[in-house]
Amino acid sequence: MAIRSSLEIAPGSVVEVYRQPDGDTSPVTAVLTNLSTNLAKANAVELLLLSSSDAPLASTTLTAQGSGYTSVPAARVTSKVKVAPELQVRMELNGLTIGNAGLNYRVNDVLTLGCGASTKPTLTVTAVDINGRVLSLGITTRGFLTTLAREQVGLKTTGGKGRDLILSATYRVASFVLLTPGSGYSELPIVDIDGPAAGTISLTPNIQPRHRLVRQELAVDEFIVVKDLPLTPGDTLVVKASASVAVKVIE
């Protein structure tokens, strides 16, 4: 009996634990042990398969939005995959700086930003001086944007006679749209973000249920053994766990 992989997984992780080597068709056995010390709670542990022949990326989950974007970043999967998926990034308004405070604005005036979007960001004037110069603004809706404009000039005002307000805007990622899922994954998808960014974006792959080999609630020190998994070269085993888990893959 030889150990092919042995590692510990932190709570809440999705981790690639083993990849079948090229030219190897021998079956393996996976042993998963709950290392949690929480006696009052059973913890969910899942063993998943990313097949080298067919393991589509079902969807993506945005886990960090980043901030300070002034242009739309491109997203692409850089992991080993036969047919890469297509991802489209959608942005939303994140921050504003007043460049020119304008004149004749009133509190509660509603302003619409000029961006390429089906849903444009809107702002509400929250404070002005005696001449109607804007002192502060609130973001009413953040929009759903595919193109960005950093400098906002000639904003459309609903009500009032305000003019000449100039704003500088920054944005954050609102969501990713999965245009095509791709196929033939041999490892967990890694998404590379292009373009300038003052924040970090990360994705968690949502693996389709048909690739779940086992899901079980484990008590403290309880373990499960999944015997004689028939893997083909390039197949990858992934563990998703809500608790600390020890994983061994043996032949």
Environment class of 216 (CB within 10 Å of its CB; exposed 0-12, middle 13-18, buried 19+): middle
| 196 and 217 co-located in one domain | no
pTM passes above 0.75: no
The CATH number of the domain holding residue 32 is: 2.60.120
One domain for residues 48 and 165? no
Q: How many domains does the chain have?
A: 2
Domain match, 231 and 156 both: no
Closest alpha carbon to 16 in 246, 237, 251, 212? 237
Do residues 46 and 75 share a domain? no
Give residue 46's domain range. 3-56+208-250
**Strand 245-250's sheet: what is its strand order?**
3-9, 245-250, 28-34, 223-229
- Please indicate, yes or no, whether residues 103 and 174 belong to a single structural domain of this protein: yes
Per-residue pLDDT tens listing for the chain (251 residues): 688 888 888 887 778 888 888 888 889 999 989 888 876 566 788 887 776 655 556 666 677 777 788 888 877 776 777 777 777 788 899 889 999 999 999 999 999 887 655 578 899 999 999 999 999 999 999 988 888 877 777 677 776 788 889 998 888 888 877 777 777 666 666 677 766 554 555 555 555 544 667 778 888 888 889 888 888 887 888 888 888 889 999 98
3-state helix, strand, coil in the chain (%, to 5): 0, 60, 40
71 and 149 fall within a common domain: yes
